[in-house]
Amino acid sequence: GPLYVIRYAISYPDNERVFMDTIYEGATPTSSWWLPKGWTSLTDYEGGLFYESFWGLLQCLDMDVNDERMLVSSNFFSWCVVSNVFIEYPKAPIHEHLVRFYFPIKGLNLINPFNWVTSAWAVSGVVWFEKVSNKGFAKKNGIHPHLRFFPKAEDPKKIHADKSMTFESFATESKVGGYGSIS
The pLDDT of residue 182: 41
Q: How confident is the model at residue 101 (pLDDT cuts 50, 70, 90)?
A: very high
Inform me whether the pLDDT recorded for 98 exceeds 90: yes
> What is the bridge-based pairing of β-strands 57-66 and 49-54?
antiparallel
Q: Are 73 and 61 in contact (CB under 8 A)?
A: yes
What pLDDT score was predicted for residue 175?
41
The model's pLDDT over 133-175, given as tens digits with 9 standing for 90+, comes to: 888 889 999 999 988 999 999 889 999 999 999 888 875 453 4
> What is the model's pLDDT at position 27?
63
Element (H, E) at 63: strand 57-66
Residue of 101, 183, 141 lying closest to 21 (CA atoms): 141
Length of the chain: 183
Tens of pLDDT, residue by residue over 14-49, are 999 898 888 888 766 677 766 788 888 999 999 999
pTM of the model: 0.86
Q: Encode pLDDT of 74-94 as tens digits.
A: 998 888 888 899 999 998 888
Q: What value does the mean pLDDT take over residues 48-57? A: 92
C-alpha R_g of the chain = 16
